[in-house]
Amino acid sequence: MLLRDYAEDGLPLQNMLVIDVHCHLGFPADPYVPYQDEEKQLLSFNQTLKRVGVDYFIVSMLRALKSGELEANLDLARMMHTNRNMLGYVTYIPFLQEKSLEIAERCFVISDRFVGMKIHPDLNKYPINGPAYRPMWEFANAKKLFVLVHTWGQSAYSNPVLLHDIARIYKDVKILIGHSGGEGAAIITAIDLSNQYENLFLDLTGSFIYSRRTLEDFVRLADPDKLLFSSDSTYNNLAWEIGNILYSRVPDEVKEKVLGLNAKRLFHNFI
């Protein structure tokens, strides 16, 4: 059975590992999400994951990203304790450096399900390579963590070109380039960076719709072992993002790498 047949027949993906490396819980003002309570969101999202066939997902909390309510990371630790298919990123806010690292230290003590850190330079209106992020990069480098970095277009805060020196200096951090640059020339920049630096990887969510590029383009231009499936759920639609992989014109063995095998290799201590 070909992988696209699962989508055609509306069946969950079976006999393969599927890992979504970029998810959220929370309630943004836009777009609308159906549940304002994070516990109800998680219950509904788990049903969606089961229906589609996603085995693991990695979450950061929108409350922490948008309002700086860093205690949301402790709520995530509690939810991961009873949802072993869920892993987590601890949110870091550049204007709350001391508190961000204090919460992070607590999170890594109380839960073995946190894989690293999440930053959103556009929401914080602060550049990826600015000095207020430096304590986070040093913390992540010392602990050999993953860092999921929101990147987008030619933004002064989140253009992936700002990762050049970060990748070179903090070699023990595995950096996931969120949205693979998102659109325009930033997509090519992100791909070039992933080809240049061993510790940079491409998080694919949102990179198809705004750039009009396909998985075929990414496979042609980047190392297929650097490509990671992600949906940005519950903010975005999981089925739409996974459909871009299943319907792409690349061999099924490449799709299986993107859907889960690449992430399994990276997150082997947690899977």
pLDDT for position 198: 98
Is 237 contained in some domain?
yes
Check pLDDT > 70 for residue 29.
Answer: no
Q: 32 is in which domain, residue-wise?
A: 19-266
Q: Residue 221: inside a domain, yes or no?
A: yes
In 26-72, which ranges are E strands?
56-61
The span from the CA of 193 to the CA of 33, in Å, is: 34
For residue 258, what is the DSSP state? I
Kindly provide the b/e burial profile for residues 167-180, where b requires at least 16 CB atoms within 10 angstroms of the residue's own CB. Answer: beebeebbbbbbbb
> Does 173 map to a domain?
yes
- Please give the tally of structural domains in the chain: 1
Provide the CATH number for the domain around residue 193: 3.20.20.140
Q: 126-174 pLDDT, tens per residue?
A: 999 999 999 999 999 999 999 999 999 999 999 999 999 999 999 999 9
Predicted pLDDT at 34: 73
Task: Let me know if residue 127 belongs to a domain.
Answer: yes
Tokens at 269, concatenated: 């201590």
Whole-angstrom distance, CA of residue 55 vs CA of residue 121: 29
Q: Whole-model pTM? A: 0.96
Spatial neighbors of 102 by CB under 8 A, at least 6 apart, are none
Is residue 189 in a domain? yes
Return all residues near 191 (Cβ < 8 A) that are at least 6 apart: 180, 181, 202, 218, 221, 222
Q: What is the pLDDT of residues 118-138, one digit of tens each?
A: 999 999 999 999 999 999 999
Judge whether 100 lies within some domain: yes
Percent of the chain residues topping a pLDDT of 70: 99
Mean pLDDT taken over the chain: 95
Residue 4 covered by a domain: no
